[in-house]
Amino acid sequence: MSELDEAFEQAKRWRDEGRRVRAILLDCGLDEERKWAKPCYGHEGANLAILQRMKGFLALMFFKGALLDDPGGHLESQGEASRSARRLCFRSVDDVERLEPTIRALVASAIEVERTGQKLPEPPALELVEELQAALDADPKLKAAFEGLTPGRQRAYHLHISGAKRAETRARRVDEHRSRILAGKGLRD
């Protein structure tokens, strides 16, 4: 029994739903491996989707979901900060059974997106929250370290800092993360 087989059998949340979604994905000819501590599904080396056990539902998240053909409108955004990922949510085995044709169609669409080399649009330029921009302007070392971070790490800091309602809290968050930024670490590293 593989590590993933054990994980599906021992799952405390959404075990039956997860096993059924897994069977459909494998029947579609996808490769399965553990990535980011979750079952990840791909085709010819490209990551297409990942299975996420959330508290209120099981999600099948497509990495390039924004590019997929979804005539039924079943794919959901993960949140307002999410640009490209879209997910199908299941709350019962009946949901999985009802959406099986949709799962298969989305997998086929995801394979086609990769086959044809479709790319996601470039993200818009990041306009940093005032407190973070002021700190970067005042400290050349901090600015250089921040610019050395990956775009995703820069965005994570911006979202975290800008999420505070009060300017004092935003400024405090900048100060709290200064050493992490200078060390080249992301918010969650």
pLDDT digits (tens, 9 = 90+) for 113-163: 999 999 988 877 888 999 999 999 999 999 999 999 998 899 899 999 999
> Which residue bears the tokens 């935003």?
170
Q: Where are the alpha helices (DSSP H) in the chain?
A: 3-10, 15-27, 93-115, 130-138, 140-147, 151-162, 167-182
Q: For each of the chain's 189 residues, which pLDDT tens digit applies?
A: 688 888 888 888 999 999 999 999 999 999 999 998 899 999 999 999 999 999 999 999 999 999 999 989 999 988 777 779 999 999 999 999 999 999 999 999 999 999 999 998 887 788 899 999 999 999 999 999 999 999 889 989 999 999 999 999 999 999 999 999 999 999 888
The pLDDT assigned to 80 comes to: 75
Amino acid at 83: R
If one counts every other C-beta atom within 10 angstroms of the C-beta of residue 170, the result is 20
15 burial (CB, 10 Å; 0-12 / 13-18 / 19+) is: middle
Which candidate, 136, 124, 57, 140, places its Cα nearest to that of 91?
57
The residue length of the chain stands at 189
Q: In the chain, what are the domains?
A: 3-115 (3.90.1150.200), 130-182 (no CATH)
Which candidate, 77, 75, 79, 78, places its Cα nearest to that of 107?
75
Are the CB atoms for 129 and 155 separated by under 8 Å? no
Distance separating alpha carbons of residues 104 and 115, to the nearest angstrom? 16
Query: For the whole model, what pTM was predicted?
Result: 0.76
**DSSP strands (E only) in 55-103:** 58-62, 76-77, 86-90
As a dihedral over the C-alpha atoms of residue 113, residue 35, residue 87, residue 91, rounded to 10 degrees, the angle is: 140
> Which residues make Cβ contacts (< 8 Å) with residue 184, sequence separation at least 6?
145, 148, 149
Q: Which two tokens stand for residue 48?
A: 């297409």
